[in-house]
Structure 1
Amino acid sequence: MNRYELLKSIVPVLGDTLVVCNIGAPSQELFQLADRPGNFYMLGTMGLASSIGLGLALAQPRPVLAIDGDGSVLTNLGTLATIANNPARNFVLLIVDNGSYGSTGDQPTYAGKRTSLAEVARACGCADVVECSAEATAGEVEAALAREGTSVIVAKCEAGNVDVPVITMNPVVIRQRFMDEVRRA
């Protein structure tokens, strides 16, 4: 199961969840699968989806799912310590770990070698950490969204991108419609 298939599997469990999605291919894939105002697509800023998601969760009551990649989390490992030390009651970080920098040509990451992001998250102090297969991800996301607290899910999947068009929506429009959706609740 690749990232696209993993994302497709979680779409039915998102409900009213606000979603902050990692840069490049993941955002493009999610946009093609289930574009909605409650999705914030990162078009630049590698490594910040988890940080933005945490801030959003701390600032408002709706559930927040940050979809990040192993490569992006590796570029901002401090985010895991920040998440552990600033727990939100409504935050789920989904790390899609395909062992590669998918948006830049599938170069291997250290998460695809010896580094376990689940173990790093635990070492940083994250209390609710699960590592699962791609096939189990939707169930893990659904369970995490249903409970109160901060959860980190590391979902292992195959590398590779699906050929989908780039997001042509203006970044200002993406931001504005997302902010309107956040204010709606």
Structure 2
Amino acid sequence: MQKLRRIDIIRILMEYVKDELIICNIGCPCKELCCVKDRAENFYMLGSMGLCSSIGLGLALSTDKKVISIDGDGSVLMNLGSLSTIGHEKPDNFILLIVDNSAYGSTGNQPTHTNNTNLCKIAQACGIDAVEVSDEKELREAIKKSLNENKTKVIVAKAIPYNEKTENIKIHPIVIKDRFMKAVKN
């Protein structure tokens, strides 16, 4: 069984995405998403570590469109309270995809604490339907199922620490915001 990398998880997700709105965690995940499939429905967070899941929740509460937040284990650990809030609100159009590589990927792959902290169990304890996946088949099944359900879902995708060599995002932050806001309204 080949271990997944974050770039693999993003590529697989984007095979299934149509018009869903995506909020992507800071740094390397944003650059990887932009490299895999840039589109107006992607919001690249260029700052605000720890807030991707909260921003995604807020967006899901304000639209009928399906919203997917791509977050990292380090960011979720930084703002664990977001899982409790997500579990309390439970919009029927929100998927939180946590890429758990047990590392702070964008700052040099320093280890996080998910070697002994189970984010899937924490999400479940917050009342969220959550699943942990560790291979491509499980990930594909979880994504397909979640996209077809009308409920809040957390997918914790286990991965190895790895940063794909990608260019910086060349789209100005104001352009990212403006085109995303138009995509939300359409």
Q: Is the TM-score greater than 0.5?
A: yes
Cα distance between partner residues in 2 of 1:13 and 1:47: 26
Which whole-Å deviations, capped at 9, do the CAs of 1:70-91 have from their partners, x for residues lacking one?
0000000000000000110100
Mapped pair 1:17 → 2:20: yes
Cα distance between partner residues in 2 of 1:47 and 1:137: 23
Cα distance between partner residues in 2 of 1:88 and 1:166: 33
Deviation at 1:59, TM superposition (A): 0.4
1:160 paired residue number: 162
- Which SS does the other structure have where 2:152 is aligned? strand
2:68 paired residue number: 65
Query: Following superposition of structure 1 onto structure 2, how do residues 1-185 of structure 1 map, counting pairs within 5 Å?
Result: 1-111=4-114, 113-126=115-128, 128-135=129-136, 136-184=138-186
Cα distance between partner residues in 2 of 1:85 and 1:26: 27
Q: What stretches of structure 2 of length at least 5 have no aligned partner?
A: none
Deviation at 1:138, TM superposition (A): 2.8
Question: TM-score of the superposition, structure 1-length normalised?
Answer: 0.96
Code of the aligned partner of 2:155: I
- Which SS does the other structure have where 1:10 is aligned? helix
**Which runs of structure 1 show a deviation greater than 3 angstroms over 4 or more consecutive aligned residues?**
none
Code of the aligned partner of 2:143: V
Deviation at 1:166, TM superposition (A): 0.9
Aligned pair count? 182
Question: TM-score of the superposition, structure 2-length normalised?
Answer: 0.96
Code of the aligned partner of 1:7: I
Which whole-Å deviations, capped at 9, do the CAs of 1:77-127 have from their partners, x for residues lacking one?
00000000011010000000001000000000001x20000111112222x
Q: What stretches of structure 1 of length at least 5 have no aligned partner?
A: none
Code of the aligned partner of 1:129: A
RMSD in angstroms over aligned alpha carbons? 0.8
Cα distance between partner residues in 2 of 1:45 and 1:66: 14
Code of the aligned partner of 2:40: P
Cα distance between partner residues in 1 of 2:48 and 2:140: 26
